[in-house]
């Protein structure tokens, strides 16, 4: 009796463990599955293009990752994403890439990737980077230089800032999802459509309604 109930417990724990594992992009079940973006079929990811119609260009992208981007926006940064949405060959492979350009003192504002851990390497310049953990909210931050790598664990709020007053900075990030997703904290809270009620935001942020209204009236420009 005791051994059969511990067997049930073991099975339940194993089921829970495999459920946890699929919170990440699932492993591919074939060599490749180039996304067929035109298929009307809705699945987790994208259906595969006919393998006989797949060609080398499906595994290639000329996003010019060597070229500087325009950072003349409110936050002073520009993220170039290379994920399954613009590179269908990444479908089912659990990986994507980003180039991030920073103006002098430019910021990649606090945001979350709900589906990916991010490995950021500084290609040029000096960045102040950091992430905040789940409650209680501990900040892990560091000043990182050209050639350094920093990791932002999956789903943590994180940010980067170029510390140089005169020179631009550049980083490249690898992310372990074909479609990491991004939730920019400020625009999600103050720029959602339709907006979150003032009653919620004034209590949540412990400020007067006029502060919330001012924040809501800002244009929450995207940096990608």
Give the binding site for ligand NAG (CB under 6 A): 69-70, 73, 78, 222-224
Q: Is residue 108 annotated as involved in ligand binding?
A: yes
- Please identify, using beta-carbon distances, which residue of 130 and 168 lies nearer to ligand NAG: 168
Closest residue by Cα to residue 210 from 220, 222, 202: 202
Nearest distance from residue 74's CB to ligand NAG, in Å? 9
158 is in an annotated binding site: yes
Pairing type for strands 139-145 and 149-152 reads: unpaired
Residue 103 beta carbon to ligand NAG: minimum distance, rounded to whole angstroms = 10
Q: 9 φ, ψ to 5°? A: -60, -45
165 labeled part of a ligand binding site: no
Q: How far is the CB of 224 from ligand NAG (least distance, A)?
A: 6
Give the span between the Cα atoms of 72 and 76, in whole angstroms. 6
Smallest gap from Cβ 83 to ligand NAG, in A, equals 16
Nearest residue (CB) to ligand NAG, 25 versus 124: 124
Give the residue with the Cβ less far from ligand NAG, 44 or 70: 70
Q: Is 108 helix (H, G, I), strand (E, B) or coil?
A: strand
Q: Tokens 């002073």 identify what position? A: 76
Structure tokens at 210: 């006029």
Task: Check the annotation: does 145 bind a ligand.
Answer: no
Nearer to ligand NAG, 91 or 223 (CB): 223
Nearest by Cα to 172 from 103, 100, 96: 100
Q: Shortest Cβ distance from residue 130 to ligand NAG (Å)?
A: 22
CA separation for the pair 71, 104 (Å, rounded):
9
Helix (H) or strand (E) holding 16, with range, is helix 2-21
The DSSP-derived string for 19-57 is HHHTTSPPPPSSS---B-TT----BSB-PBPPGGG--GG
Of the two residues 96 and 223, which places its CB atom closer to ligand NAG in the complex?
223
Q: Which amino acids are annotated as binding site for Mn(2+), given as ranges?
A: 111, 113, 118, 158
Q: Which amino acids are annotated as binding site for oxalate, given as ranges?
A: 108, 113, 118
């Amino acid at each position: 009796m005791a051994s059969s109930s511990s067997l049930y417990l073991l099975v339940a724990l194993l089921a829970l463990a495999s459920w946890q594992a699929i919170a990440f992009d699932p492993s591919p079940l074939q060599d490749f599955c180039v996304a067929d973006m035109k298929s009307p079929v809705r699945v987790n990811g994208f259906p595969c293009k006919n393998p006989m119609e797949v060609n080398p260009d499906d595994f290639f992208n000329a996003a010019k990752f060597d070229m500087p981007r325009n950072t003349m926006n409110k936050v002073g940064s520009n993220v170039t994403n290379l994920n399954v949405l613009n590179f269908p060959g990444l479908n089912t492979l659990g990986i994507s890439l980003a180039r991030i350009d920073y103006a002098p003192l430019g910021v990649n504002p606090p945001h979350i990737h709900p589906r990916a851990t991010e490995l950021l390497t500084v290609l040029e310049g000096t960045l102040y980077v950091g992430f905040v953990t789940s409650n209680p909210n501990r900040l892990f931050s560091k000043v990182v230089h050209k050639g350094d790598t920093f990791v932002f664990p999956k789903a943590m709020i994180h940010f980067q800032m170029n510390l140089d007053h005169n020179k631009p900075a550049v980083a490249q990030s690898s992310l372990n999802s074909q479609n990491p997703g991004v939730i920019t904290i400020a625009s999600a809270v103050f720029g959602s459509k339709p907006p979150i009620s003032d009653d919620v935001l004034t209590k949540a942020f412990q400020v007067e309604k006029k502060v919330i209204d001012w924040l809501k009236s800002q244009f929450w420009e995207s940096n990608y």
